A and B are shown apart, each in its own frame.
Chain A
Amino acid sequence: MILQRIFALVLLAVCAALAVMAWPYQAAFSYEPVGPRAYPLLMLGLMSLGLLYLAIRPTPIVRKDDEPELDRETLTKIAACIGLLLVFAATFESLGFILSAILAGVPMARLYGGRWLHSVVVVVGMSVFLYWLFDRVMDVPLPLGLLSVLEN
């Protein structure tokens, strides 16, 4: 309940900030009666109304049976997973696809309960295979990064 109220209020604040941001949007010269400002403001206004109602009367969250309570351990894991995804994104171009996939993928496999050896074998194998599959076979260009020295 309380989480939902906080969420609704935070999103409400975001809406307000976005509305302030949208206020000066005006076409320099225009041939049509509706400018670029009206539609986003309309959407933000409707959303705010909905959020306001939600903040006042939150609806109960139905928890499924197989969904465990969020404890500290799970939350740390989720934070770690988000961190790994960010590392993956940050090193994607500089290290190259294969290395960054290994860097982020092996700890991620560990996070989901894999053994060290298994995780390393699967992730290294899959990153090389996927690089070959996408970059070489399917023509989706992926960065090689540091490994580009090996080429030629």
Chain B
Amino acid sequence: MGLLLAIVVWAITFAMAVPFVTQTWWMPESITALGDEIDQAFNWTLVGTGVIFLLAQAALGYTVWQFSRPTDKPASDSHGNNKLEVLWTTAAAVIFVGLTFVTYSVWAETRFIEQKSMEPSADRLIVEVTGQQFVWNMRYAGEDNQFGPTDIALIDDAAGNPVGLDRSAPGGADDIMVPEMQVPVNKEVEVVLKSKDVLHNFFVPELRIKLDTVPGLVGKLRFTATKEGKYEIVCSELCGLGHYKMRSFLHVVTQEEYEAWIAEQASYLF
């Protein structure tokens, strides 16, 4: 029975680990430098926990096999071993807590952006994303680089004003509302996240980042996509019966394509 149990434990361990080595089911390719760093953090964690996983399960299997074999010797009367205890406590502390220290800088880069300037500029595009059951609304500031004021009394989904934009107010006339996001490649983009109703979560797997959209709060994410393409935006916080179909797209295009697209969108306004 001991050997059988050991073999089953080892077989399960092997079967669990193999897809992580062959990368059969894997993350899509990262499209930001930050995403690469997050992958690096993931890889460190995978190696660290992977080694512990294999060693611990191997030791468990070996122990149940080895010490279930018939023997005339009595069981050991050991009560423990303080040296070993200190050794593995320290090792576990160094590995686990160390990981956090190693990987934390990426978090800071992604999320410590509150105090930085929020002004749209030549080298930073700002897109406001408002979640609602079960669609994403993207807003661009338009030609004047100013987001117009909003008012919930003006919200009218049927009339195409899902965020209650006041078109008559200064800065509001040229704001562009679209259901999908277009950004130029290699340009820093700040996503300003809001919600109209319940919690949602803005998640683009290729960017490796996500953040809840919280009604009453403004969330911010920043990224610079370096690879053109069409990527899915999926909702990652339960938001109701249509949660599974709440998605949109992020189009990363060349600067020229972006400019042509934004000009086309602007032309629909007037």
A and B physically associate: no
Chain A residues engaging chain B, CB cutoff 8 angstroms: none
Chain B residues engaging chain A, CB cutoff 8 angstroms: none
